[in-house]
Amino acid sequence: MFSTPTPLKEKDEIVLISTARKISKEEISLCIATLESWGLHVHLGKHIFKEDKQFAGTDTQRAEDLQWALDHPSAKAILCTRGGYGSSRIIDLVNFDTFKKKPKWFVGFSDVSIIHHHVNSLGIASIHATMPLLFSDQTAVGSLKACIFNDTYHISTPAHALNQHGTAKGEIIGGNLTLVMHGLGTPSEIDTEDKILFLEEIDEYLYHLDRMMLQLKRAGKLDNLKGLMIGGLSDMNDNTIPFGLSAQEIVYEHVKEYSYPICFDIPCGHITNNHALIFGKETLLNINDKETTLSYIT
């Protein structure tokens, strides 16, 4: 059972930090204006616009901002500015003790999946959603708002030819496939037992995708799921000698033997209309020959 942070309301505080790739003030100006239009008070991490090679400051600076956000006495949510690479470099430099005592919503996707995994391993729910760099898509932003304010929210998407039909009830966990695999054997390893596993990926070679799915399978992470949701598998690459299967077909080859419900192309991940997902909240997933629907159980 996951602990669910308190929903936000007008006049609540939210903090923005950069845990991975560098970003500019201009790139997050729309996000800040949007959050303020929701009635939220926005606080920025001390090092949010720092630069160190491709990173938003040194590991020490990014860890300092993450620690500040985790320990913030009045903020109700933490929103990471962007992904890229770098969050896994600082995850072991911070202490989650204060955060465990007073949880707040942790929000983001892509590279920050590793922080989701750590938060979820503590039994605390989090929100896989768009980030300030990508606040121009209204569907993505609207779904994030619905999740953090606890408004009624569901996802509906057309059926996919590779789907395995059925209904699943359970808590969603997962995120970016590379980061799920990266966490294996570490304190941030996800527990998939009796969970609905969500996976998405971008800009990987097809044989890399095959290798990662095989690793998850060998590690037992595909066993005993309640269900499996595959989101965007975007901008995949192939070799001169083609792999011979599409990204979705590669995933299907590794999971078709399981009896639990499986859906493809759930509109979440590195796609334009990146719908938010609440990791750790009881969810009803229904997959039939016409559509896939996801709704949260209150």
The vertex-201 CA angle with 176 and 281, nearest 5°, equals: 40
How much is the pLDDT for 231?
98
pLDDT digit string (tens) for 262-290?
999 999 999 999 999 999 999 999 999 99
pLDDT digit string (tens) for 220-268?
999 999 999 999 999 999 999 999 999 999 999 999 999 999 999 999 9
Q: Residue 298 pLDDT more than 80?
A: no
Give 13's pLDDT tier (boundaries 50, 70, 90).
Answer: very high
What domains, with CATH codes, occur in the chain?
13-148 (3.40.50.10740), 154-296 (3.50.30.60)
pLDDT digit string (tens) for 74-92?
999 999 999 999 999 999 9
Cα separations (Å) of 65 from 24, 31, 114, 216? Answer: 16, 19, 16, 32
pLDDT digit string (tens) for 14-51?
999 999 999 999 999 999 999 999 999 999 999 999 99
Give 293's pLDDT tier (boundaries 50, 70, 90).
Answer: very high
- Residue whose tokens read 């308190």: 6
Q: What letter would DSSP give residue 259? A: -
How much is the pLDDT for 1?
84
pLDDT digit string (tens) for 186-209?
999 999 999 999 999 999 999 999
Tell me if 230 sits within 8 A of 199, measured CB to CB. Answer: yes
CA distance 27 to 12: 23
CA distance 128 to 162: 24
Q: Residue 121 pLDDT more than 90?
A: yes
Tell me if 15 sits within 8 A of 45, measured CB to CB. Answer: yes
Tell me if 153 sits within 8 A of 188, measured CB to CB. Answer: no
- The proportion of the chain whose per-residue pLDDT surpasses 70, expressed as a percent, equals 100
Sign of the torsion formed by the C-alpha atoms of 274, 275, 281 and 285: negative
